[in-house]
A and B are shown apart, each in its own frame.
Chain A
Amino acid sequence: MTNKIEIKNLTVNYVERGVNNTALDGVSLTVKEGQFISIVGSSGCGKSTLLSVLEGLLPPSEGEALIDGVPITGPGPERGVVFQQYSLFPWMTARANVLFGIRQAKRGISHKDARLLADEYLGKVGLLDAAGRYPSRLSGGMQQRVAIARALAMDSDILLMDEPFGAVDAKNRTILQELLLELWQNEAERKTVVFITHDLDEAIFLSDRIILLTDSPGRVYRDIKVDFPRPRYRDELMGSLIYDDFRRELFADFFGDKNRAAENDGVII
């Protein structure tokens, strides 16, 4: 499989009131086409910063980020984005939000086709009945469903998700995780997904690979393959012994050695 995303020695500095704050320090990472990777780290470690670079909203201070071998210069319709909140425009109905995304990605699409496409994806996330509602009349979980429907309907190769289920209650979060997996697996050509979370269980359940970042400044601390076969079923997976072992090791890695590694860098947590 070809490399879809390449991040080479990426460093991002924020300068605020003359003070330099290094958010990411020399991050290198390659994501293969069709892979689902999760980036995990505690809050403030630079996860959103990393995704902003991939979104094309933030230029690297050093190093580079490439998609299909071409350096990112700005946002593009080949990348669909879902944020934790405020992905949708509050003055557009659910359907209008999806339609708006479709029109940006597929310029010149006829009104009828766009509408069919929008309703198809709203149906896939189970929200056809709520299509005429404004985001303020939708629960947080429903809003994220619409955002996912929009990202998928835009038919971009890459899906960038920044803690998309972080503000959703536990029950709905598991439902959304399963929905996302199902939609992703059933696509004719699987999208490359970069998924940010601080929930390790979520990362294991969803991903092919988990990247653990160190605390600030963010560096790649571990790059872990998740080999559980797909399609994955939550109950089956979480009841198995190998899952328990994997999870224990990952948690130990995340909470134990990482702090030590950070301390070694002179960072106090």
Chain B
Amino acid sequence: MSTFNAELTPKRRFLRVVHLLFLAFLAIQALAPAYSKIRGKTDLLVADAPLYAIIFIAAIELALILVSIFAKKNSALTLFADLASVVYILFIAWTLATAKFNVLREQLFPPPGIILRQAVQDARPLLGHISASLLLIVKGYFLAAIIAIPAGLAFGSSERFGTAATMVSKFIGSIPPVVYIPYGIALLPAFKTVSAMVIFLASFWPILGGTMSGVMLIDKPIINSARVLGVPKISMLWHVTLHAALPQILLGAQQALTVSFILLTSAEMIAAKSGLGFYVKNYSDLGNYTRTIVGVLVIGVVISLVFFAFNKLQKFLLRWK
């Protein structure tokens, strides 16, 4: 067989490297002796833990293979291969530094298998914490959006009032909302109300500011086009102003969402009895760093998923751009 046909494109070569990384991870798990075995220690390392790491990585590998076969868009495959390579390298380095050579302190840095195992074991309580956290976000954030967007549309419609209100909202918005937490706790007895209120306050100003600037930035010709059609006032706000300002509104809403999560986790770490922030704080207080890391990672995953959904929604709403 001639090697002529087998010439590799850079992309195929990279894909091959990613698959090799996967095999390297398996080899390390299987072949390199565990540090604990050498020392004769078995207390911290649970025997079936490496299995969780292997299953996790194998699932990613399987997904990569499926994507490389079925993905319609080349960019999707590239992105997925990049991600997989990063995860593989991370897992290899992490495994070597912990389970295999014990470079890091084992109480603070458990190997990946242990963490995954803990996450699976805690799946049920974690789901409870996730929904407790998300419920607070939904309450505070959506309430803020429902009030801030109409208010912004109304304020922004008057140039003078809009300018003044923008300055006020910039001033209040510049205060790091974390400072509201102690005040909120003093003001309201129930933690849940306090958190929702703090998230509300933190989300309100970016959304209001975004909406007002969106309204004030609308191109004059667009307004004139609507006016010559004889669009009535209310219909104008709904069919024209809201849509024209939507890009800026969504920018404000995205900023508000970021701040909301920062505040949520801070508040939960200070005063809650449930939620992901509480999970992390509680277990780090108890010295259970496996669960602490589980909590941190789950927070990362949840926030990433929420922003993924937000970006999809944004793309859909602005599909006309």
Judging by beta carbons under 8 Å apart, are A91 and B246 in contact? yes
Q: Please tell me the number of chain A residues within 8 Å of chain B, measured between CB atoms.
A: 26
Partner of B228 from the list A55, A85, A88, A135 (CB cut-off 8 Å) is A55
A57–B230 alpha-carbon span in the complex (Å) = 11
Min Cβ gap A106→B in Å is: 11
Judging by beta carbons under 8 Å apart, are A79 and B320 in contact? no
Residues of B within 8 A of A101 (CB): 229
Is residue A100 contacting chain B, with contact meaning CB distance below 8 A? yes
Is residue A69 contacting chain B, with contact meaning CB distance below 8 A? no
Is residue B240 contacting chain A, with contact meaning CB distance below 8 A? yes
A104–B227 alpha-carbon span in the complex (Å) = 11
Please report which residues of chain B, range 200-227, place their CB below 8 angstroms from some CB of chain A when the two chains form the complex: 219, 221-222, 224-227
A86–B226 alpha-carbon span in the complex (Å) = 10
A138–B307 alpha-carbon span in the complex (Å) = 31
User: Mostly helix, strand, loop or mixed at chain A's interface?
Assistant: loop
Residues of A within 8 A of B244 (CB): 89, 91
A79–B231 alpha-carbon span in the complex (Å) = 13
Residues of B within 8 A of A86 (CB): 219, 221-222, 225
Is residue B315 contacting chain A, with contact meaning CB distance below 8 A? no
Residues of B within 8 A of A26 (CB): none
The tally of CB-CB contacts under 8 A between chains A and B is: 56
Is residue A221 contacting chain B, with contact meaning CB distance below 8 A? no
Residues of A within 8 A of B227 (CB): 57, 75
Is residue A243 contacting chain B, with contact meaning CB distance below 8 A? no
Is residue A77 contacting chain B, with contact meaning CB distance below 8 A? yes
Judging by beta carbons under 8 Å apart, are B219 and A136 in contact? no
Known contacts A57-B228, A79-B228, A104-B230; is-contact A91 B222 (Cβ 8 Å): no
Judging by beta carbons under 8 Å apart, are A83 and B224 in contact? yes
Interface centre among A79, A85, A86, A154 (most CB of B within 10 A): A86
Min Cβ gap B101→A in Å is: 57
Residues of A within 8 A of B226 (CB): 89
Judging by beta carbons under 8 Å apart, are A88 and B225 in contact? yes
A94–B303 alpha-carbon span in the complex (Å) = 38
Known contacts A91-B244, A100-B239; is-contact A136 B228 (Cβ 8 Å): no
Residues of B within 8 A of A81 (CB): 225, 228-229
Known contacts A85-B221, A91-B244; is-contact A134 B319 (Cβ 8 Å): yes
Min Cβ gap A199→B in Å is: 21
Is residue B139 contacting chain A, with contact meaning CB distance below 8 A? no
Known contacts A90-B320, A91-B320, A136-B320; is-contact A104 B229 (Cβ 8 Å): yes
Interface string of A60-102 (1 = CB under 8 A from B): 0000000000000001110101010111111110000000110
A86–B231 alpha-carbon span in the complex (Å) = 16
Judging by beta carbons under 8 Å apart, are A89 and B230 in contact? no
Min Cβ gap B240→A in Å is: 7
Min Cβ gap B24→A in Å is: 47
Residues of B within 8 A of A92 (CB): 320
Is residue A126 contacting chain B, with contact meaning CB distance below 8 A? no
Is residue A141 contacting chain B, with contact meaning CB distance below 8 A? no
Partner of A76 from the list B222, B224, B230, B319 (CB cut-off 8 Å) is B230
Residues of A within 8 A of B225 (CB): 81, 83, 86-89
- A residues near B (Cβ < 8 Å) are 55-57, 75-77, 79, 81, 83, 85-92, 100-101, 104-105, 134-136, 154, 160
Interface CB pairs A-B, < 8 A, 21: A55-B224, A55-B228, A56-B228, A57-B227, A76-B230, A83-B224, A83-B225, A85-B221, A86-B219, A86-B222, A86-B225, A89-B226, A89-B239, A90-B321, A91-B246, A100-B229, A101-B229, A104-B230, A134-B320, A136-B320, A160-B228
Q: A86-B219, A89-B226, A105-B230 are in contact. List 20 more A-B contacts (CB 8 A).
A: A56-B228, A57-B228, A75-B227, A76-B230, A77-B229, A83-B224, A83-B225, A86-B221, A86-B225, A89-B239, A89-B240, A90-B320, A91-B244, A91-B246, A100-B229, A100-B239, A101-B229, A105-B229, A134-B320, A160-B228
